[in-house]
């Protein structure tokens, strides 16, 4: 399932770590993995190498490899529980703006 093409489809990110005073490379599909290095470019290369090694190990053991987020399908629906006071406040705001509660919350989440 996972070749070089799939490795490119994983979600990588590089950010600064104040604690380590270095750049840290991360992969969303493998949240327990990271790579520290002096530059963003080296941190990205490092995390990509670690992910490739972990994926190869998982495949050798017959373990399932996470599907890249970019290839996952989403329905567009999910349930969020909020305190009743928040629900009331949002419902009033939606009514005042003459939009559905769904449209109001969707707008707030996407901004």
This prediction has a pTM of 0.73
- In tens, the pLDDT along 32-48 reads 999 999 999 999 999 99
* CATH at 51: 3.30.160
Answer yes or no: do 10 and 62 share one domain: yes
Q: How many domains does the chain have?
A: 2
pLDDT given for residue 4 in this prediction: 65
DSSP count for the chain of H helices, then E strands:
4, 3
Minimal CA–CA distance to 12: which of 62, 55, 51, 67?
51
Assign 59 a pLDDT band (cuts: 50, 70, 90). very high
Claim to verify: residue 57 and residue 107 sit in the same structural domain = no
pLDDT tens profile 85-103: 999 999 999 999 999 999 9
* Tokens (6 digits) for 7: 């490795």
> Mapping DSSP to helix (H, G, I), strand (E, B) and coil, where does residue 53 land?
helix
Residue 102 domain boundaries: 74-111
């Amino acid at each position: 399932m996972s070749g070089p093409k799939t490795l490119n489809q994983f979600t990588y990110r590089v950010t600064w770590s104040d604690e380590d005073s270095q750049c840290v490379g991360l992969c969303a599909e493998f949240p327990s993995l990271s790579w520290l290095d002096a530059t963003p470019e080296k941190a990205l290369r490092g995390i990509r190498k670690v992910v490739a090694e972990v994926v190869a190990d998982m495949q050798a053991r017959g373990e399932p490899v996470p599907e890249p987020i970019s290839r996952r399908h989403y329905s567009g629906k999910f349930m969020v529980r909020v305190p009743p006071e928040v629900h009331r406040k949002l419902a009033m705001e939606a009514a005042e703006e003459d939009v559905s509660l769904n449209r109001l919350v969707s707008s707030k989440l996407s901004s």
